[in-house]
């Protein structure tokens, strides 16, 4: 599942903003189960999609702590090795945009499918 493998470390497996990396972040992730509630009971897949891909992102979501979406999915094991080498070399504890610059980006249809998977999951975890 895309949400668990790409978002849960910060947003938590339940989407409540309590993932294991939360303590290392400058900006606390929001509770994603309340997206519809905060929008007068309406869950807008288009708006959520744009927030994830960065098209119409809010400042805190596209902060330096939020990695480039499509470019981090090509080869997860190689990326983890690259990130950890850089992290230990520079003693940075949160991902920075520089950690992802040298990664190839996946084709747009693959990125779109991944984001749509996350949007679908988020629509199912909305509080009533």
DSSP secondary-structure letter at 86? Answer: H
Confidence of residue 99 (pLDDT cuts 50, 70, 90): low
Return the percentage of the chain with pLDDT > 90, whole number.
46
pLDDT band at 107 (very low <50, low <70, confident <90, very high): confident
Crossing angle for the helix pair 108-124 and 45-53, to the nearest 10 degrees: 130
| Pair of tokens at residue 114 | 């991944």
Structural domain of residue 17, as residue ranges?
2-124
Cβ neighbours of residue 86 under 8 Å, at least 6 residues apart? Answer: 92, 98, 99
Total count of domains within the chain? 1
On the 0-12 / 13-18 / 19+ scale of CB atoms within 10 A, 91 is exposed
Give residue 105's pLDDT: 76
Which whole number is the average pLDDT over 94-117? 73
Which residue would you say has higher pLDDT here, 77 or 63? Answer: 63
> Any idea which of 20-24, 49-53, 90-94, 108-112 has the lowest mean pLDDT?
90-94
Farthest CA pair distance, the chain: 46
Confidence of residue 121 (pLDDT cuts 50, 70, 90): very high
């Amino acid at each position: 599942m895309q949400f668990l493998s790409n978002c849960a470390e910060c947003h938590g497996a339940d989407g409540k903003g309590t993932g294991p990396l939360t303590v290392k972040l400058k900006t606390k992730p929001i509770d994603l189960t309340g997206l519809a509630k905060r929008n007068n009971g309406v869950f807008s897949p288009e708006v959520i999609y744009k927030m994830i891909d960065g098209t119409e992102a809010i400042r805190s979501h596209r902060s330096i702590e939020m990695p480039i979406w499509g470019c981090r999915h090509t080869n997860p094991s190689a990326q983890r090795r690259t990130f950890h080498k850089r992290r230990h070399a520079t003693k940075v504890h949160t991902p920075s945009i520089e950690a992802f610059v040298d990664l190839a980006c996946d084709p747009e249809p693959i990125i779109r499918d991944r984001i749509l998977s996350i949007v679908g999951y988020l629509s199912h975890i909305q509080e009533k």
